[in-house]
Chains A and B, each alone.
Chain A
């Protein structure tokens, strides 16, 4: 019986794989800029439409700003999530990733972090623009923490469900239908926490929704890691 011949062969470590996938996704995006620019333009359009449909004057603005901001990001992020596996799927590249001796959860984490970075880039342009357009400061450190944690939770569950939606008929339609009801808790809690911060509440007063965001992030990340294997094998 021949002994397992790979004993002297290096196997890619978890983080090296994650880095390789992120490097590849970020390099592709730097060349094409199609995901980030599409999400950015879409965000601006959503903000614009909200402006007309809600008559965002001084008084109403303070009440609804957190909601408008989150709905904008949720819609824009869905566009990006739809692209997470689309390039690989459309050009038949998934096999290349699956043939490699990599940990499948490293593939998930790499893909998730790339999409997360794209969304955070868009948010970091839209938030100052939003502050500028509506003359309200959104730059409190606490709000940025909520933005990052909420976006993380949404991206985790979004990446998992994008791996499902990519194989369905009419996948661009399927992703939001699968994703929105699952993402309700993280959206509500993020909006509540953000609204609390914009009203000038201290950390103590928003700990409820903030804790929920963290709990959501952890639980959904654990489920994603445990189930992702099943989604990509044939």
Chain B
């Protein structure tokens, strides 16, 4: 399988967009007056959180499709999306923590969003461990699909449960709670940088997903070739 032209174009354009988004986040967007430079974490923090959620939603959809159709490609997408989602969720949690140190004066707080993100990370780490610990490939795919569904459904319930404690996490988009610490109003350049980051990360997600699915398909092909070769040698 030759790396196809579309994928190459996608890879190059997402690299260019990433460079442009770095420029927008660090140069184009103005300095926030109250929080200072650390506010710039916000652009990538939200974007990576968004990709985490999107990736796990894709896994949910592909898990359902896999159970319904038993088509291997859905399992490849589900697995690839979890791996990418876990990486972006980790970035989301770490960048949030970096921002929280100067703003909330602590690395960590048991706020609903932070806690939910962490539990979400644990859920999908468990998903990957589950796949590791099943030998039978058919069973691995089916069980992972079921867990992919159960895990995703539990996330909003987790958020609701932790919501029982009061939140201090700022809500930048939509209604803003004045009591939240670290709130700010976005100026138009900030908004441009923010939405461009979101767009870039989504683009990057699609590129990475495509690469990862291709890798998975190549793995399957290599295994099939190996087994054909072994069968030929044995007969």
Contacts and interface: CB of A to CB of B under 8 A. Distances in A.
User: Within the complex, are A and B direct neighbours (CB within 8 Å)?
Assistant: yes
Interface of A: 157, 160-161, 164, 167-170, 174, 177-178, 180-182, 184-186, 188-189, 192, 208-209, 212, 215-216, 219-220, 223, 227, 230-231, 234
B106 interface: no
B133 A230 contact: no
Nearest first, the 7 closest Cβ-Cβ pairs linking A and B are A185-B157, A185-B161, A168-B133, A188-B161, A181-B122, A181-B123, A227-B146
Given A170-B133, A231-B142, A182 B151 contact: yes
23 contacts: A157-B150, A164-B147, A167-B139, A168-B134, A169-B134, A169-B135, A170-B133, A174-B130, A177-B129, A180-B122, A181-B123, A182-B150, A185-B154, A185-B158, A185-B161, A189-B164, A212-B164, A215-B157, A216-B157, A227-B146, A227-B149, A230-B146, A234-B139
B234 interface: no
Interface of B: 67, 119, 122-123, 126, 129-130, 133-136, 138-139, 142-143, 145-147, 149-151, 153-154, 157-158, 160-162, 164
Given A160-B146, A181-B151, A219-B157, 13 more contacts: A161-B150, A167-B136, A168-B133, A177-B129, A178-B126, A181-B126, A184-B154, A188-B164, A209-B164, A219-B153, A220-B153, A223-B153, A230-B146
A182 B54 CA distance: 19
A181 B134 CA distance: 20
Nearest to B151: A182
Given A160-B150, A167-B139, A189-B164, A184 B133 contact: no
A212 B160 CA distance: 8
B160 A185 contact: yes
User: From DSSP, what is the main secondary structure of chain B's interface residues?
Assistant: helix
B149 A184 contact: no
A215 to B, nearest CB: 7
A189 B161 contact: yes
Contacts of A186: 157, 161
A87 B109 CA distance: 43
A93 to B, nearest CB: 18
A233 to B, nearest CB: 8
B35 to A, nearest CB: 31
B131 to A, nearest CB: 10
B223 to A, nearest CB: 20
B161 A174 contact: no
A23 to B, nearest CB: 28
Contacts of B129: 174, 177
